[in-house]
Amino acid sequence: MKKENSVWDFFASVKLALSLLSLLAVTSIIGTVIPQKKSLQWYAQEYGDNLAQLFNVLDIPDMYNSWWFLGLLGLLCTNLIICSFDRFPGVWQQIKADGLDTSPERLKKIRRKKEWQSKSSVDSASTELSRKLNSSGWKNSRRHSDGGTLLFAQKGAYSRIGVYVVHASILVIFVGAIIGELYGFKGSVMIPETQQTDKIYPFSTGEAIDLGFTVRCDSFDIEFYRTGMPKDYRSELTVLENGKELFRTSIEVNSPLTYRGITFYQSSYEGYNDFMVKVTNKDNGNSQTSVVPFQEQRKWVQEGLAFGVINAEFMGQSVSRMKIWFSDGKGAPSQFWLKDGESVAVARENGTYLLTAKQMYATGLQVCKDPGVWVVYLGCGLMLLGLMIAFFLSHKRIWLFIKEDGERTTIFLFGSANKNRVGFEKIFNDLAETLQEEHI
């Protein structure tokens, strides 16, 4: 029996909670400083073979999913649950305690107290004081006790459970994280312009996951600084189900797409050596967009046109401008330089054509499904509520004992608060002044 009590006391210990929180904080710093989910070769190059092997044994490359980190979290959950079960019954007794079931002799041991006398009778003084307490926001009850009358009022009794709300919030957050880990995924996909996919590839396994719908990349636009570094990029996406277009939307780095609980974030891009060339006959309005590989020819048979990109100037992965070859089969072909994404009107014998050319890209999307995220949000809300209760509210109690003392009536005012005693001092003094304002 003693051993069982010792085990229970260990898991209910506040020292254990503080130790676990400290360990989790330190290990989280390690997981932030050391890049996660890299290859063993990468860690060997960065930290040396010995440290890389140690990292591998301790699961440092995937620390937040390691057995020992999950064990610390599980131990913390156990500690919070047992600590709450161990202490909550006593707290609940204090919340539901009958404040009138307190002897005047015990009340006199309270440090914060006031005393004054009145010419009114005990009953008259009790009635008037009860009225004043009610008007001051202190709903009270009274009872005859030890030859006098005892009045009791309290505020914020349930503030004592603030710490347990915080405990519960941490457990709710953990439950949300477990739901997300079991039923969610994080992965990525590259979709070239004009192409579509109904699958993504999770980081954990790399095996394809069926989305249940299709995402098509209609176009990808990118802006650059003068140095050639990307300034901003965005994708025009279309969501389809059963071959039918549902809606189109534009996504950027801080403006994702969410559909059926799956969120697509703009994360990267890849430039190709292919080009998207759009040709429009300005005379009849006919238009065609073609994917043109570098230095290969494409034909628009209906219009009798042929065109291609015969040269290009690259800046890293990106093309700054390209040289177009364009022919309608009559006369010498037109050749001209065109900036990426720029349009130009080309006059030929058969008519005038508007030509737009741009480098072809693939949009890189990070894809995330987390069905437990709302549970985590609920836990965070509970934590804020619990912290507000724990730090900004307190259990304040007031007793008034009125007894006959010869020809006069003596009134004793007692008060206590479990937190913020400095603030309660002012409340107590103001209340005492209010109760003594009139000569009762």
Token pair recorded at residue 80: 């919070």
> How high is the pLDDT of residue 147?
86
Task: Scan for tokens 């364009």, then name that residue.
Answer: 326
Token pair recorded at residue 33: 């400083």
| Interacting residues of 109 by C-beta distance below 8 A, sequence separation 6+ | none
Burial classification of residue 369, based on how many CB atoms lie within 10 Å of its CB (0-12 exposed, 13-18 middle, 19 or more buried): buried
Amino acid at 88: F
> How high is the pLDDT of residue 155?
95
Token pair recorded at residue 384: 């804020």
> How high is the pLDDT of residue 226?
77
Following CA atoms 135, 137, 141, 147 in sequence, which dihedral angle do they give, to the nearest 10 degrees? Answer: -70
Using CA atoms, how far apart are residues 231 and 253, in angstroms rounded to an integer? 11
Contact 72, 9 (CB under 8 A): no
Token pair recorded at residue 312: 């290009």
Using CA atoms, how far apart are residues 165 and 176, in angstroms rounded to an integer? 16
Task: Scan for tokens 């079960």, then name that residue.
Answer: 85
Token pair recorded at residue 344: 């130009």
> How high is the pLDDT of residue 438?
59
Handedness of CA 308, 311, 315, 320 (dihedral sign): negative
Token pair recorded at residue 316: 């890293």
Q: Cα 6 to the chain's mean position, in Å?
A: 38
Report yes or no on whether pTM surpasses 0.85: no
Token pair recorded at residue 81: 């649950």
> How high is the pLDDT of residue 257?
94
Using CA atoms, how far apart are residues 269 and 317, in angstroms rounded to an integer? 10
Low-confidence ranges of the chain (pLDDT < 50): 1-3, 439
Domains of the chain and CATH, by start: 2-94 (no CATH), 97-156+394-435 (3.30.310.80), 185-369 (no CATH)
> How high is the pLDDT of residue 235?
94
> How high is the pLDDT of residue 2?
42
> How high is the pLDDT of residue 3?
46
Handedness of CA 82, 83, 86, 89 (dihedral sign): negative
